[in-house]
Amino acid sequence: MLENPAQLVAFGFGLGKIPIAPGTFGTLAMLPVYQALQPRLADAGLLALVGVMFLVGVWACERTGRALGVPDHGGMVWDEMTAFLLVLFFTPPTLAWQAFAFLLFRLFDVLKPPPIRHYERQFKNGLGVMLDDLIAAFYALLTLAAWRAVAG
């Protein structure tokens, strides 16, 4: 993995090698990353970082999927990391809200409600790998916004 930069990125710098629930660990890893970045980057900078991470993820997941012969290998966690960083950006900065955001994101990422599964089947490349998690992030954010509106 260290000899291949695409695999290093796609596997979340080693987090994807965790044998149990690598996507969950990749997602969790973004909590301290967000906590470290948020006070140091303006909102535009953080959103730009997510955009760059998305583009790098398309490249890294495409190359890694082709090299491994599995388009969306379970060890590729960069997609979860990128999408959850976006979720955290729009989530209120409290432990309760962030925990709820984490649970919602993982739920939507695992269950893949429509149209997530459609896009996952449609795009068998790095874009598909990254896109399905972006849609799961959208669902998580939509649910958080609805909850916030109801809870007041």
C-alpha distances (whole Å) from 43 to each of 24, 46, 90, 145 are: 25, 5, 10, 19
pLDDT at 96 over 80: yes
61, 126 in Cβ contact below 8 A? yes
Residues 84-110, mean pLDDT to the nearest whole number? 97
Q: Are 71 and 129 in contact (CB under 8 A)?
A: yes
Alpha-carbon torsion (99, 80, 151, 115), positive or negative: negative
Q: Which pLDDT does position 4 carry in this prediction?
A: 93
Nearest to 10 by CA among 83, 68, 75, 71: 75
What does pLDDT average to over the chain? 95
Q: What is the pTM of this model?
A: 0.95
| pLDDT tens for each residue of 26-83 | 999 999 999 999 999 999 999 999 999 999 999 999 999 999 999 999 999 999 999 9
Host domain of residue 109: 5-151
**How many domains, in total, are found in the chain?**
1
112: left (phi over 0), alpha (psi -120 to 50) or beta: left
